[in-house]
Amino acid sequence: MDINKDELAKIIDEVVKALDDNVCERNSESAGDYGVFKTMDQAIAAAEKAQTELQTNFSVQEREVLIKAMREEIKKHVEKMAKMSVEETGMGRPEDKVVKITLATDKTPGTEDLRTEAYSGRDGLSILEEAPFGVICSVTPSTNPAPTIINNSISMIASCNSVVFNPHPVAKGVSQYAMKQLNKAIINAGGPANLLTAVEKPTLQTVEECMHDDRVTMLVVTGGHGVVKAALSSGKKAIGAGAGNPPVLVDDTVDIAKAASDIVKGSSIDNNVLCTSEKAIVALDSIADQLIDCMEAENAQFVDNPKAIENIVINEDGTVNKEYIGKDASYILESAGIKPKNKDVRLAIIDVDIDHPIVRKEQLMPVLPLVRAKNFEEAMEMGVKIENKNRHSAIIHSKNVDHLTAFAKKIGTTIYVKNAPSYAGLGAGGEGFSSFTIAGPTGEGITSARTFTRKRRCILVDGFSII
Ligand code: NAD
């Protein structure tokens, strides 16, 4: 029988689809819809069962096989998730979402992150191992929906937990899509169904239900102050990855064009929705004008009427106008009655005082205020004021080692980036692994598999020590 290329491709497609449907059918009863359930009770029950199976039947090496499959599968969906994310939430830029999703997929550590410690001596041998917590309730944000789901899934499964996700309702479509692809990869690699679960319709009530369920043993919340507070009041082990307001200091020792380029890149990525992105510049007065000129050369736009921007992005009660979070700079400028210099302008810059609301609020928009300082001492004080004890992130551009060290000590942030765009602190163009759950308030810092473990000690007296 003669068969041409197109017919062959059609047959292959049909066979692949039939196989896929078959896997789906085999798992439909136990897997919900690849981890999505009608009720929170079902989502938690399924995650509990899956965690028991993982812990009982899968070695560390076998868990790593599942993680490899998760990474490989998710890579097929990066562009789609990036597009879905912008369409669903109305925030960010698809090309920048691609960077963030790829970073989470490639640079979140797996089981290699786990450590066993040993103590040996006259009395024998003790080992200290990192054991799973069990079922984790993970609350995820609207600003980085897919990267947070991917990052937490890899870290939490590497440490042998299962996860009940509570995605932000405005990002539930893309969050559930990412979770389903990960579950599909786990099942196809021979792993348990439902290691990752969620409810079909997440609400604040379902988060509450999940946080207070006895089967859930750890809470990991990635979001603003409200949800961190709710988790910390739950009476359970809680890891809080909260809001930030990263200042970026620029002194007079730097290559100003390079500092300007780094700041525009770091602050404008995904329209500034990253909690780690530069949110306010503190520049020495002596170089501030030159810095603004160099930022304009990097496709930022200086706006000499800050009031026009303030009027639209800050509400009358002083809160941030959510309508503009993560929107393009050109849209914000046009809405403020200012002509954008081009449709792809990355950032609007305004020159204001330290107490301006756009400086003091975490506004999550491509609007970057600049504040002038007389000297480096004053710049540091302003930086500390802007960061507001969030213990989150700060950036500095300086070639003076004393300045680099002094501000690090004063600001006390979890991430401190020197002479690079802020995202170097997430492992993009900087050394180290990546994480989208940065636990400042509770102190775990850049989270990874070992963060989601509890320490267990196992002792053998009078044996196994060979010294
Ligand atoms: P958000 O706080 O509005 O929502 C985060 C999640 O918490 C959502 O799932 C939401 O439904 C839930 N939630 C909100 N209030 C709650 C409450 N009182 N009780 C229970 N659940 C509640 O945040 P968002 O707008 O999605 O994300 C942006 C915020 O998250 C910013 O402040 C940003 O800095 C922060 N963030 C921090 C990190 C980090 O790693 N530290 C990472 C991403 C985002």
Does ligand 1 have an atom closer than 6 angstroms to the CB of 421? no
Does ligand 1 have an atom closer than 6 angstroms to the CB of 230? yes
Q: What residues pair up with 118 in beta bridges, in sequence order?
A: 127
Does ligand 1 have an atom closer than 6 angstroms to the CB of 438? yes
- For CATH 3.40.309.10, the residue range(s) in the chain are 247-432
CB 216 within 8 A of CB 236: yes
Does ligand 1 have an atom closer than 6 angstroms to the CB of 209? no
Best residue among 151, 179, 219, 275 to mutate for probing ligand 1's pocket (most ligand atoms within 8 Å of CB) is: 275
- For CATH 3.40.605.10, the residue range(s) in the chain are 28-242+447-455
Judge if pTM exceeds 0.95.
no
pLDDT digits (tens, 9 = 90+) for 273-300: 999 999 999 999 999 999 999 999 999 9
Give residue 219 CA to ligand 1 midpoint distance, Å: 13
- CA gap 406, 326 in Å, rounded: 33
Distance (Å) of CA 161 to CA 22, 129, 218, 433, 453: 27, 15, 10, 20, 8
Amino acid letter, residue 172: K
Q: Which residues contact 374 (CB under 8 A, 6 or more apart)?
A: 284, 285
CA nearest 364: which of 154, 223, 240, 463? Answer: 223
Give residue 133 CA to ligand 1 midpoint distance, Å: 23
Does ligand 1 have an atom closer than 6 angstroms to the CB of 241? yes
Residue 166 CA: nearest ligand 1 atom is 9
Residue 436 CA: nearest ligand 1 atom is 40
CATH 3.40.309.10 fits 247-432, yes or no: yes
Best residue among 40, 97, 139 to mutate for probing ligand 1's pocket (most ligand atoms within 8 Å of CB) is: 139
> CA torsion 270→386→253→275, rounded to 10°?
-20
pLDDT digits (tens, 9 = 90+) for 86-124: 999 999 999 999 999 999 999 999 999 999 999 999 999
CA nearest 327: which of 315, 319, 335? Answer: 335
Give residue 168 CA to ligand 1 midpoint distance, Å: 8
- E strand residue ranges, 73-208: 117-121, 124-132, 135-140, 162-167, 196-199
Give the neighbor-by-neighbor strand order of the sheet with 300-302.
Answer: 300-302, 347-351, 367-373, 280-284, 247-250, 393-397, 415-418
Does ligand 1 have an atom closer than 6 angstroms to the CB of 242? yes
* Nearest CA owner, ligand 1 atom 44: 223
Q: Encode the chain (467 residues) as per-residue pLDDT tens digits.
A: 556 666 666 665 665 554 444 444 444 444 479 999 999 999 999 999 999 999 999 999 999 999 999 999 999 999 999 999 999 999 999 999 999 999 999 999 999 999 999 999 999 999 999 999 999 999 999 999 999 999 999 999 999 999 999 999 999 999 999 999 999 999 999 999 999 999 999 999 999 999 999 999 999 999 999 999 999 999 999 999 999 999 999 999 999 999 999 999 999 999 999 999 999 999 999 999 999 999 999 999 999 999 999 999 999 999 999 999 999 999 999 999 999 999 999 999 999 999 999 999 999 999 999 999 999 999 999 999 999 999 999 999 999 999 999 999 999 999 999 999 999 999 999 999 999 999 999 999 999 999 999 999 999 999 999 88
CB 415 within 8 A of CB 392: yes
CB 40 within 8 A of CB 209: yes
CA nearest 435: which of 47, 101, 78, 151? Answer: 151
CATH 3.40.640.10 fits 28-242+447-455, yes or no: no
Q: Which residues contact 171 (CB under 8 A, 6 or more apart)?
A: 85, 88, 89, 140, 141, 142, 145
Residue 325 CA: nearest ligand 1 atom is 25
Secondary structure of residue 254 in the 3-state scheme: coil
